Structure formats: structure tokens, C-alpha cells
Amino acid sequence: MSDALLTPQLIRLGCRPADKEAAIREAGALLAAAGCIAPDYIASLLRREAVANTYLGNGIAIPHGMAEDRAQVLRTGIAILQIPDGLEWNPGQRTHLLCAIAARSDDHLVMLRQLTRLLQDEARLLPLLSTADPGELIAALAQPAEALPPDAEAHDLDLCEEWRLDYPNGLHARPAALWVEAARRSPAQLQVRHGNLAADAKNLISLLQLALRQGALLTVSARGPQAAEGLRQLLQAMREASLAEQTAAAIAAQRAAGQRKRALWQPSGRAVSLPGISASPGLAIGTVRILAAAQLNVADRPVSLTEGGDRLHEALAATRRQLSQLADATQAALGAAEADIFRAQAELLNDTDLITLSCQLMVAGHGVEWSWHQAVERLAEKLSALGNPLLAARAADLRDAGRRVLFQLDPSLQSRAPAEFGADTILLAADLAPSDTASLDPARIKGLATAHGGPTSHTAILARTLGLPALVAAGNALLDVADGSPAILDGDSGRLYLDPSEQDLASARGWQQRQNEERLRQQNERQEPGQTADGRRIEIAANLNRPEQVAGALEGGAEGVGLMRTEFLFLERETAPDEDEQHRTYLAMQQALQGRPLIVRALDIGGDKQVPYLKLPREDNPFLGMRGARLLLRRRELLEPQLRALYRAANSGKPLSIMFPMISSLKEITRLKGWCEGIRKELDAPTVPIGIMVEVPAAALLADQLAPYVDFFSIGTNDLTQYALAIDRQHPELAAEADSLHPAVLRLIRHTVRGAAEHRRWVGVCGGIAGDPLGAAILAGLGVDELSMSPRDIAAVKAMLRRHDYARLQGLAEQALACDSAEEVRQLLEVLA
């Protein structure tokens, strides 16, 4: 084996990882540190485990990444963890040697063959499980094939057929498993031969031992009962796997080409760096400051239940107010999705088990601070122990909210806030709570790096929203970096460069300057109308909640409000707003817009937005239950005051349209329009345009039938993606796969546009993909008339549209519709960047 594949630096002896995930992360970190993989490939190693068993047998496991992520492999390499005590890989499977494989092509197959040989040679294998010399492992795995004992000459079976392997990456575990599955369906003896080596087609290890590369000429043979049919089935499986293998290789090549085209900063020479996982893009130059983990030594000062209960009640109420204010501030500055993080935390504080346990501990003679802290930790640990990633994320939020209550009870426990650090700070921490991240001042904190966490954590989401370059999961070595030392944090590659040279600092500053100049150019042109290079008009609007947000949106380039979310009027209060309060709000929004378009979405409650005082029934799956129009049609006391307030506002003569959420049938439209018309006549108000949200596939597929009954469509791509792909968009592990550029979602959008066009109706998009410049470009190419987004995205989207002709965007849209994955669509769109 080549030294490039396995070196002493890629071997770690005497390991004791806590579990399989920890072991894979440790091996992945070795590969990343050696420059074999991009840090993101570690997540690919873990994803592979979710869909395949990489345990070879006899104590050896070979974790490797997904084929579609091969572009993240920088060079081929193998990292080995020796685990003398063994580690349960899957039930009944115990691993002692973990060999993590990063392969650009089929360079690793020779080494894989050596591993499979070791499985059958216990005399050579057992000493390797406890050796203290990494050289022995290298020698065992680097022994050239020609030095092995010669195999006996292989002979074919009775029926034979030749086939040339056309898999771009050779025969690896995934296609080999398909061969085995097909072979085992036959009672015949089946064999695959390459040269003088033959393998039992029903034995995965035997097949992998052949170390087959692309172009290998194979003889497939059979003998015994139903031999001809068995041979046919096996060859069919081998050929059918070709398409999947070639497609995966093509996507990987496209991704690699796209990455090469992106202008990412690169240091000169061999800069010392710590790898992590990219969480938020961008480059930060500054001084490292370590945020020490808060050590909470909570004193146990016993109090009576009466006194402790009163203090806890006051602390909980104060914390709820604090979280409500933080949610409002976050929503105004960052957006509704980010604000929901803190609204969800406030809801956690209503947990009856949490309050009951705190009181039980106080009755047992403990202090209120100690009791509360213990109750939070016990419940959080219980959630984490369930092994559900959603519940583990909820445990982190519970600790964050619980800490706020604790600080209300005893302010002296509050540690130094990150805001105390000076300008040009790159903040390093074991982890950061969402509330800490949201309170950072981007004028001083230039970048974030954490030892733990993941790219889908709330902290990572907030960092991206704040525009702070960030990396996560860098390991405990991050906390050993010298406080006060200079560094460059590259959020794109997920690396922290330590003590950079003057040359690298100058290069990084130049890169930053070019990026800043591009952003400045976009800002200077943000008031230009939204249109393509050849003048096709596409209205660019803002998604807002409150009248006071309008001025900032208009200053940012918004041409109107494409989505006013009215649910904020109903949240964080004890009763629903009355008609007069709503009327004042809608009128203020109209006045702030000074004659520009305003689209108001009727109350959209349900799913992930719950309002306790409405006493909605508990549902096992609220996203498929009573939400949007379904709720409005059953709760007239909610809809009627809102419609009356809206039609009163329409009497002002300023533009106003009404939009209903979660429509899935014509019956819903006609009933809602009937209510609208009755109230309009009662108030003698003008007719206003009435539109619907396209959030479920049914509405998209029925667009041509619904169009005669509505004035416009607005596509909510976040929900449409969730329902089309059957992926909860809040799931911490799956959310990244809920990509609105998936061809299935794009086809639903095109179907909506075409159905609307038949009846001269316009179509907008107010989902998250509208604010992604690449997404906006493809939406424009699909024929969308309006894009509504967060105000912070407007300048970049307008700049993207102005760079390209409509015909080019149409052509790319047609190509995107023919893709088979969101990843392939994004690779296709790299030409626009």
C-alpha cells in the first residue's frame, strides 16, 4: 500500500471511544487533520452508517462516506483506530479495528482486499488488536498482493459468461451487496472470477477480496440447480447497479467541479490549522478569545416550599418575559424562524414534570436554586438518553432556558457574557447556547468556533443569520489554543488557521475586501427594480410581521410586502386580539408602505405554531392536522374579526390583498370567499384581491382548476418541500435534505405557474428559497412573477437576477427539472455564481 494511504499519523492505538458515533468522528478527525477529507465528510461517514452496515466481521469495521459526497475527499487515505476492549458496532458485532476509508476513486481496493484476508487469518489479526507499534499495522496492511501466498488456479463453473466491470469507482460494498442479494436468491452455486482469483458470489467478503477496479474483465459462472436462471439474475443485478454507480460518480464529479469554481480563500504554504465542520460561511480575521465553560456551583440553601415556590414562580415569569423580548428582538433583526427558537424555549418552562420535581426537591429540604437546577438536569439527561436527535436538541434548549431561570433566582451565578470581549474577536468555546449566540455583537465578534455541536444546531443557524463565519465540532483541542493569539477562521472550509503569517493575513484581508466590495455594489443597487438583464420584471417584496419593520425593508430594496404574517398578533398573550387592535395594525402597515403592495396572510396557526389560550386539541402529528385554512373554517370566532379588520383597512383606499394558508381544495376556497363577500357587503368595503398559499402538493396539482376562483397564488416552498419530500423541516438530522431545489418541488412550482397562466393569474413565492440567489434565479426561470423574502436577502437576489437574461434562466430551469436530486440542481446552478 502507498504511504499516502496509511501513515503513523493516521493510526491511533489504545482508543476507548464512548460509542460508534464518537469512534467515527475520531477517525474522521484524523483524516481531516491529514488533509484527506473536508471536515464535512465526517457527516457523510455517519450518514453511511444510517443506511448500511460497515462491519466486515471478525472485529473489523470499515466506515466510509456516501458516494455522492466523494467531492469532499481531498486525497485517498485510511485512518485506523485500534480499540483493544472492543466497541459494539451493531447488536452482536464488536469492533476492535476501525478503518475509516476516504477514497477519491478505487485506490483503496487493494487495502480493502488485505482487510478481508486478515479476517480469515486470525494468527495475523489477533496480535494487531493489542500491538503498541503502529508499524505492525502498516506492515500487515501494506503487504503487496504479489507477496501473499499464491492462490490456486481458479476454474470456472459449468455455465459461464464474461462481463466487464464499468463501475467508475470499482466494486465496493454497496454494489457488492446487491450482487450477493441476487446470488442468494438462487439455489445454484455462483462464482465471479478475475484472472486467477475467484470469489463466491454469495459471500460479500469473498467478492471484496477481488479488489476489482473499473474495466476489470470478469467471468461469471454457475453450477447446479437452476444454474442458467441464477446466472441470468446475477448478471442482471450487476448490470442494473451500473446506472446507480455511474450516476453517483457523475454527481460527485459535478460537485467537485462546482467546488473548484467557487472562489474560496486558500492560505499559502502549510499553515497550521484545526479542522471542524463548516457551520456558517465567510472569513474572519482576529484575535482568539476563549469563552470558558460556565461552572455552575449551585449552593443548596434550604427554604420552605412557600417561599421557594413564590421565588420560582417569579423567576419563571421573569424568564418568560425575557424570552418573549428576546424572540421579538430576534424576529425584528433576524427573522421569524430564528425567533421561534426562543418561543419554543419559553414553552419548555411550562412543563409540569419540571415544576413538580422542583417542588418535590424543595419539600425534601433543598433550596430553590439547587432544586430547579437538579430538575432541569435530570429531565434534560432523560431526554438525551432516549437516543432521539430531536429530543437531544430539545434537551439543549431546556438547559439554555433553565439557566436563564437560575440566573433570575441567583444573579451571582451568571458568568461573563461574550459581549465583554473586544473588537475583532474570534470566539472559541466548548459550545454556545442559542441565547448567547443571538446576543453577540457582530461589530466586535467576527467569528465563532466550538468544540462540540453540529451544523444544524440552533447556534449554527443563528450564526448564519447573523452573518458570522463559524465552525463547529472542532474537538477539545480547540480549547487549548492560546487565548489572545491571532487566527483566521474560514467558515467555508471549516478550518481555524493558527498564528497565520503576514503573507496569509494580507491574502485573507484582500479576499475579504473583494467580498465586501461585491456586497457594497449590491447594496448600492438595491433600490433598482427587480428584473433580469434583458428587462423581464420580477417584483421583489419582503416577508414582514409588524408595521415598524417596513421602513427597514424599504430601505433594503423591498418593493412591497409579499407576506405579512398575522400570527404574531396572537402569540405571547393570554387572549386573541380584537377587531379594533387588528385594524390599527393593518392600517399602520398600509400607511408605512405609502401605496406599495401589501399581502396579508390570514391567521396561520397550528403545526409548529401553537397558541395555548386557543386550546387546540393535542395532535400526534400537528403538521398533518388542524392548521391554516382547516382551523379557520372551524373557528369562525378567529376568522371573522380578522376579516372585518382587513376590510375596514381596505376602506383606506391603499393597496391590500388577502391570502389564505394551507389550501388543499376548491371547497375551502369557496367557503372562505363566501365569508369574505358577506363581510365586505356588510361593511360596504371595496373588493380586494384574494389569493391562496400553495403549500401542499394538492394545491399545486390543482392550480389550473383553482385559478378561476382566486386572484393570485403564493407558493410557500418551506411547507411545500416538507410535504412533497415527507421530511420534517425542523428535524436536526434530516432538515438539510429538505431542500426546496429538489426537482420534485420544482416540478410542483412549474405546474402551479402553468395552471395559473391558463387563467392569467400571477404567482409569487414567499418561502425560504426565494431569498437564496440561486433559488431566485431558478424560480425566475420557471416563470414566477414575484419573490418575497427576508429584507436582508433582497440586495443579493436583485444582483443575481440583473446578471442573467431570462432565456438563460429558462434554459437552466428546464435542465433542473430533468435532474434527479437537489444536489445535482445546485451543481447545475454553480454556473450562475
Which pairing describes strands 539-544 and 495-498: parallel, antiparallel, or unpaired?
A: unpaired
Tell me the C-alpha distance between 4 and 73, whole Å: 13
Task: Please confirm, yes or no, whether 64 is among the known catalytic residues.
Answer: yes
- Return the SS3 of 183: helix
Contact present, 710 and 717 (Cβ < 8 Å): no
Q: What is the pLDDT of residue 393?
A: 55
Instruction: Tell me how far apart the terminal alpha carbons of the chain are, to the nearest angstrom.
Output: 40
Q: Which overall architecture, per CATH, does domain 272-294+416-522 show?
A: 3-Layer(bba) Sandwich (3.50)
Which residues in 366-423 belong to E strands, given as ranges? none
Beta carbons within 8 Å of 358's beta carbon, 6+ residues apart: 312, 368, 371, 372, 374, 375
- Cα four-point dihedral sign 105, 108, 110, 113: negative
Lookup: cell for 805: 437574461
Contact present, 720 and 696 (Cβ < 8 Å): yes
Q: What is the pLDDT of residue 476?
A: 77
Tell me the C-alpha distance between 817 and 748, whole Å: 10
Contact present, 791 and 542 (Cβ < 8 Å): yes
Q: Which overall architecture, per CATH, does domain 159-259 show?
A: 2-Layer Sandwich (3.30)
Tell me the C-alpha distance between 450 and 458, whole Å: 13
CA distance to 179, 213, 746, per residue, from 166 (Å)? 14, 9, 32
Q: What is the pLDDT of residue 416?
A: 46
Supply the DSSP string of 222-276, one letter for each residue: EESTTHHHHHHHHHHHHHHHHHHHHHHHHHHHHHHHHHHHS-----SS---EEE-
> Whose CA is closest to 276, among 457, 83, 139, 437?
457
Tell me the C-alpha distance between 182 and 204, whole Å: 12
Report the DSSP beta bridge partners of residue 273. 497
- Return the SS3 of 86: strand
Task: Please confirm, yes or no, whether 172 is among the known catalytic residues.
Answer: yes
Q: What is the 3-state secondary structure (H, E, C) of 415-455?
A: CCCHHHCCCCEEEEECCCCHHHHHCCCCCCEEEEEECCCCC
> Taking the domains of the chain in order of start, what are their residue ranges?
8-142, 159-259, 272-294+416-522, 305-413, 526-832
What is the Cβ-side half-sphere exposure of residue 821, based on CA atoms within 13 angstroms?
14
Catalytically annotated residue among 15, 64, 366, 373: 64
Beta carbons within 8 Å of 78's beta carbon, 6+ residues apart: 5, 6, 10, 99, 100, 101, 102, 108, 111, 141
> Whose CA is closest to 449, among 420, 480, 422?
480
Catalytically annotated residue among 96, 108, 172, 742: 172
Residue 250 sits at φ, ψ, to 5 deg, of -65, -40
Q: What is the pLDDT of residue 110?
A: 59
Q: What CATH code is assigned to 305-413? A: 1.10.274.10
Which residue type is seen at 55? Y
Beta carbons within 8 Å of 209's beta carbon, 6+ residues apart: 113, 116, 117, 197, 199
Report the DSSP beta bridge partners of residue 102. 77
Which of 3.20.20.60, 3.10.180.10, 1.20.120.1200, 2.60.34.10 would CATH assign to domain 526-832?
3.20.20.60
Which residue type is seen at 824? E
- Cα four-point dihedral sign 420, 426, 428, 431: positive
> Whose CA is closest to 565, among 659, 679, 692, 466?
659
Answering whether pTM is above 0.85, one says no
Mean pLDDT per segment of 10 residues, for the chain of length 833 residues? 68 94 94 90 87 73 80 86 91 86 67 65 81 86 47 78 88 73 87 89 69 87 92 92 68 45 69 82 91 78 84 90 79 64 72 76 88 88 56 67 90 62 86 73 86 67 78 83 92 89 92 86 89 96 90 93 90 82 95 96 74 68 78 89 96 95 95 95 96 96 97 94 82 64 96 97 92 93 95 91 95 94 88 76
The fold for domain 8-142 equals: Mannitol-specific EII; Chain A (3.40.930)
> Whose CA is closest to 77, among 42, 114, 120, 30?
30
Catalytically annotated residue among 96, 194, 373, 458: 458
Lookup: cell for 279: 457551520
Q: 239: exposed, middle or buried (C-beta count within 10 Å: 0-12, 13-18, 19+)? A: exposed
In the chain, what's the furthest Cα-to-Cα distance?
96
Tell me the C-alpha distance between 667 and 26, whole Å: 56
